[in-house]
A = this chain, B = another copy of it.
Amino acid sequence: VKTLRQLGERGLIERLRRLLPRGRGVVAGIGDDCAVVRAGRGRLLLLKTDAVVEGVHFDKRATPHQIGWKAMARALSDIAAMAGRPRWALVTAGLREDTAARTIAGIYRGLAAAAGRFGARIVGGETVRAPGPFWLSVALAGEVEPRHLRLRSGARAGDAIFVTGTLGGSIQGKHLAFTPRIREAQWLVRHAPVRAMIDISDGLARDLGHLCRASRVGATLSAPAIPMSPPAGGCLQRALDDGEDFELLFTTPAAAAGKLLSAWRQAFPELRLTRIGAITRGGGILLGDELGHTRKLHESGYDHFQPSHA
């Protein structure tokens, strides 16, 4: 009997995609950052759920406020990846009966702080008795104008690849306090010809892999260009593989790159935007070094159901 561990996350998504065919009015579904559905009269609704589990996504050192912030910000980041505006959130909490009331209040304050900062509101949800590890599931609905929607699948050969912020070592703290790039994504689709976009949750290598597969293209990354976070400690592999940076990864036509970079510096002086490579016709993802040597990149990023080095 095949188990989830053997199937892996991507294998499972493939199975579910076959089991649950996409219907009419569904613009994007299983396997995308958010589901995108036509809600009538030209409106697009973005729907996303994201869960965090004690011992998997956070440990006992995290404060209740941080846990709440992270749970909401993860879902917000997926709305950002599609350039949407987050609107309404529902929160489900699986709690042990001996959880302190003030812990719960702290978690909901963290959830509400993250939602409120980006214009979303918690409108419902429920709490359920759950023996075992504590978990939070956030369901978030957002809206996007059809002309602003961006998917993973729009990249074309020749596009420049960009990433916001810096990467790697998020586990040292950023994963509990990151800023979902809602405002940046909305600015981007209004000021640059963004063709494909995704947020980096599984790590640069893996999420670029998702984007390339969805767009049926390949990519070449420039190793010296990849912006590393201080906690990555100068280790390129960590900037490539570490998850939970929640930065935006996107492509534009190469000709638009220069103008975009200077407009970005005006709009977001405190957040880096870096051109890290180019989309290619195919052939997977290659990593080029200073000397012009390239090697094939393996997607060793995070899989929820497989040991890290299986």
Contact = CB atoms under 8 A, between A and B. Distances in A.
6 contacts: A15-B105, A16-B108, A23-B121, A26-B121, A39-B45, A52-B128
Contact of A92 (B45, B49, B123): B49
A137 B39 contact: no
Given A16-B108, A305-B129, A30 B124 contact: yes
Interface stretch (A3-11, A152-160, A217-225, A243-251): A3-11
A81 to B, nearest CB: 13
A100 interface: yes
A144 to B, nearest CB: 13
A48 B101 contact: no
Does more than half of chain A's interface fall in helix, strand or loop, or is it mixed? mixed
Nearest 8 A-B pairs (CB), nearest first?
Answer: A132-B132, A139-B139, A35-B124, A35-B123, A5-B97, A49-B90, A2-B101, A137-B137
A102 interface: yes
A131 B130 CA distance: 12
Contacts of A55: 131
A282 B29 CA distance: 49
Interface residues of A, number: 75
Interface string A122-148: 111111111111010101010100000
Contact of A47 (B32, B123, B127): B123
Nearest to A140: B139
Contact of A129 (B7, B56, B92, B124): B56
Given A4-B99, A98-B5, A130 B39 contact: no
B90 A47 contact: yes
Interface of A: 1-7, 9, 12, 15-16, 19-20, 22-23, 26, 29-30, 32, 34-35, 37, 39-41, 43, 45, 47-53, 55-56, 87-88, 90-92, 94-102, 104-105, 108-109, 112, 121-133, 135, 137, 139, 141, 143, 304-305
Given A43-B39, A47-B90, A2 B132 contact: no
A20 B112 contact: yes
